[in-house]
A and B are shown apart, each in its own frame.
Chain A
Amino acid sequence: MAAKLVLTPGQTVGPFFALGLDRPDWADLTRNDPLGERVTIEGRVLDGDGAPVPDALIELWQANAAGRYDHIEDEQADKKIDPNFRGYGRVATEAQGRFRIITIKPGPVPGRGNALQAPHINVAFFARGLLRQLHTRIYFSDEKANLTDPLLAGIEDESARQSLIARRGEGGAYRFDFVLQGLGETAFLDI
């Protein structure tokens, strides 16, 4: 096999990324009226001092309501593509580190082998002070499939596992905080 090319290293998104990357309408993945249950996910991004992070960028990638990704390599013939749902979203935090995403709850998607993964949203996370992105996932507190999800089941530390699960609040919105460091730190993935 030929030698691999050297990969391009990541470099921080910096404090001014909104100039090139902020597209406020991309925070609403339901803007083209897709099929599925509408969900709002809101929360804050906090640093190791508990201070809000006002310059973070959260990117989302998820399956549609049937559990199919809009991508050529998802060949699940029994699930339909939803032409009104692309599955990609993006939101930047505001001055107090808050964000809000409107989307649909994804269906379960296959894991490795015969495993099924609980409904989840894949996250790539960028900020000033992060030299490259972090990856994590957002799961939903009211999904029984969480109990058998391969990623969640493989995390022994209870607080780390809980950090991946968005909780439904009184107003109906899901709450999910990104804690970059320290107490309640979000579990980030090496993928």
Chain B
Amino acid sequence: MTQPPAYARHRDGGQPPYLYPDYASTVKRAPNRPLIRFEHTLSEITGPSFTSGWAGPVATDLTKQHQGEPLGERIIVTGRILDEDGRPIADTLVELWQCNAAGRYHHPVDQHDAPLDPNFTGAGQAVTDADGRYRFVTIKPGAYPWRNSPNAWRPAHLHFGVFGGGFVTRLITQMYFPGDPLLQYDPIYQSTASAAARERLIAAYDPKLSEPEWALGYEFDMVLRGRDATPFEAP
């Protein structure tokens, strides 16, 4: 019996390490033992699919979830979910969450002294189209302080979760904005060794995506693991 090909392995430096002391919370949460390498089986190459019941105007437009308009700079964020061979991933769930324009999350644990916005929750979902594309309308999140080190500030970011074709393609990441001066001081962004991989985390401003008199447009593609070149076969 021939089985579908495994997914390609991560390359060195392309992903953040588990232990990265500049991000203080990794010190007690990173495993000490080396990970156990295991070749992919049906358990790894299969994964959940979400084909219906998610996409809708409220889920993809975070500015229309309340009675009034949220405060902040309206933005359009769109992009494609691709595998590393450039193939679009259709019908996959994209989940988004973020803080408001003042830098405050609608979450009880967030005690940052900045106002909540009664017209902004900050969560959305989209399902990619046949071309692998998603599109959200939201507001640009603010920067906010965190207690990683004295006077540390997170650069403005959106949190994204994406599934892809198999359980091993699951990705949770963050999208940053071009030219943000906080990026060079942010250990979460800096933790990935490869500069090319870090660049993947920064959206591109695209005037063609902006809508006149209304919202700024950003393009943000996410690239998930693709298939290994050689299928694995039973002996």
**Measuring CB to CB, which residues of chain A are less than 8 angstroms from any residue of chain B?**
1-2, 4-21, 47-49, 51, 53, 55, 59, 61, 63, 69-74, 86-88, 109-114, 117, 120, 122, 124, 126-135, 137, 151, 154-155, 160, 180-182, 185-191
Would you give the shortest CB distance from A61 to chain B, in whole angstroms? 5
Q: Apart from A20-B123, A73-B4, what are 19 other A-B pairs with CB-CB below 8 Å?
A: A12-B172, A18-B107, A19-B97, A19-B106, A20-B122, A61-B47, A69-B46, A87-B48, A109-B41, A113-B234, A131-B17, A131-B26, A132-B16, A135-B168, A151-B38, A181-B30, A186-B31, A187-B33, A187-B36
A interface SS class: loop
Q: Are A9 and B105 in contact (CB under 8 A)?
A: no
User: Nearest 6 A-B pairs (CB), nearest first?
Assistant: A20-B97, A129-B25, A88-B48, A131-B16, A71-B46, A190-B35
A21 CB contacts on chain B under 8 angstroms: 95, 97, 161
Please indicate which of the listed interface residues A10, A155, A182, A191 has the most CB atoms of chain B within 10 Å of its own CB: A191
**25 A-B residue pairs with CB within 8 Å:** A8-B224, A9-B200, A15-B109, A16-B97, A17-B97, A19-B106, A48-B29, A49-B28, A53-B29, A59-B170, A61-B47, A69-B46, A70-B49, A73-B4, A111-B41, A124-B170, A126-B172, A131-B17, A131-B18, A131-B26, A181-B32, A186-B31, A189-B37, A190-B37, A191-B168
Rounded to whole angstroms, the CA-CA distance of A59 and B167 in the bound complex is: 10
Q: Are A182 and B32 in contact (CB under 8 A)?
A: yes
- Tell me which of B78-86, B127-135, B177-185, B209-217 binds A: B78-86
Is B23 among interface residues, defined by CB-CB distance under 8 A?
yes
Of all chain B residues, the one with the shortest Cβ separation from A111 is B41
B123 CB contacts on chain A under 8 angstroms: 19-20
B37 CB contacts on chain A under 8 angstroms: 189-191
Q: Are B96 and A20 in contact (CB under 8 A)?
A: yes
**Measuring CB to CB, which residues of chain B are less than 8 angstroms from any residue of chain A?**
3-4, 8, 10-11, 14-18, 20, 23, 25-49, 82-86, 95-97, 99, 105-107, 109-110, 121-124, 159, 161, 166-168, 170-174, 188-189, 191-192, 194, 196-201, 221-226, 229, 232, 234-235
Would you give the shortest CB distance from B127 to chain A, in whole angstroms? 15
Rounded to whole angstroms, the CA-CA distance of A117 and B38 in the bound complex is: 13
Q: Are A10 and B15 in contact (CB under 8 A)?
A: yes
Would you give the shortest CB distance from A69 to chain B, in whole angstroms? 4
Q: Specify which of A2, A19, A55, A111 is in contact with B121 (CB 8 Å cutoff).
A: A19
B96 CB contacts on chain A under 8 angstroms: 20
A70 CB contacts on chain B under 8 angstroms: 48-49
Q: Are A5 and B232 in contact (CB under 8 A)?
A: no
Number of A-B contacts (CB under 8 A): 240
Q: Are A7 and B197 in contact (CB under 8 A)?
A: yes
B interface SS class: loop
Rounded to whole angstroms, the CA-CA distance of A131 and B201 in the bound complex is: 13
Q: Are B29 and A127 in contact (CB under 8 A)?
A: yes
A9 CB contacts on chain B under 8 angstroms: 14-16, 173, 192, 197-198, 200-201
Q: Are A4 and B16 in contact (CB under 8 A)?
A: no
Of all chain A residues, the one with the shortest Cβ separation from B25 is A129
B86 CB contacts on chain A under 8 angstroms: 2, 5
Would you give the shortest CB distance from B14 to chain A, in whole angstroms? 5
Q: Are A7 and B200 in contact (CB under 8 A)?
A: yes
Q: Are B28 and A6 in contact (CB under 8 A)?
A: no
